[in-house]
Amino acid sequence: PVQEQTMVTDKSEIDPEAAAYGDTIHRLLELLSSQRLSTTQAAIEAQRALHNVPESIDFDACWRDALAVFLEPELQACFNSAHYNKAFNEVNVNAIDTEGKARFGIIDRLVVTDDEALIIDYKSRQNLSGDLAQIAEEYREQLSRYRDAVKQLWPEKTARAAILFTAQRRLV
């Protein structure tokens, strides 16, 4: 039988400007974490790469936000290569959900150490109120599928998943 393939996340209910801001933050974090560029070089490259950012998006604010996340001391295990063996950005994964449907998703960042594979999903929602751990629960099923897929790649490692709330610079 043909399996239905759907995205893990549904962006249909997201405000287009918020989505553009989130996409910009994602792309900047990917560029910063590539380890190929200094932060100054990355800023120049980012401006070139992101020339199609909508005018409604404040690129300088996005850059400051992404750089603050990248340099946050509490998040160095996610972005500083001295803390991990390998790291990957924008990892495509396929998994079968409990109903037998194929699900496609993209892991924003995957950090691999000797013992662990840490799945990081960026959420750039601003103006969040409440407990971030409770908000992260909304993504439990998505992260569970990501964990299952990563566990197939590295069965000997502990697969852990977390949400990185970029505006709050917190990994939950």
Summarised one tens digit per residue, pLDDT across range 44-71 is 666 666 666 777 888 888 889 999 999 9
Collect all residues with Cβ–Cβ distance below 8 Å to 129 and sequence separation of at least 6.
none
Q: Is the pLDDT of residue 5 over 50?
A: no
Q: 29 is written with which tokens?
A: 């974090």
> What is the number of alpha carbons within 13 Å of residue 121 lying toward its C-beta?
25
CA dihedral for 57, 111, 172, 104, sign (positive or negative):
positive
Chain segment 7-28, per-residue pLDDT in tens: 444 444 568 888 888 988 998 8
CB atoms inside a 10 Å sphere around CB 56: 9
**The model's pTM:** 0.82
How far apart CA 151 and CA 56 sit, in angstroms, is 40
Residue 162 DSSP code: E
User: Would you place residue 4 in the very low, low, confident or very high pLDDT band (cuts 50, 70, 90)?
Assistant: very low
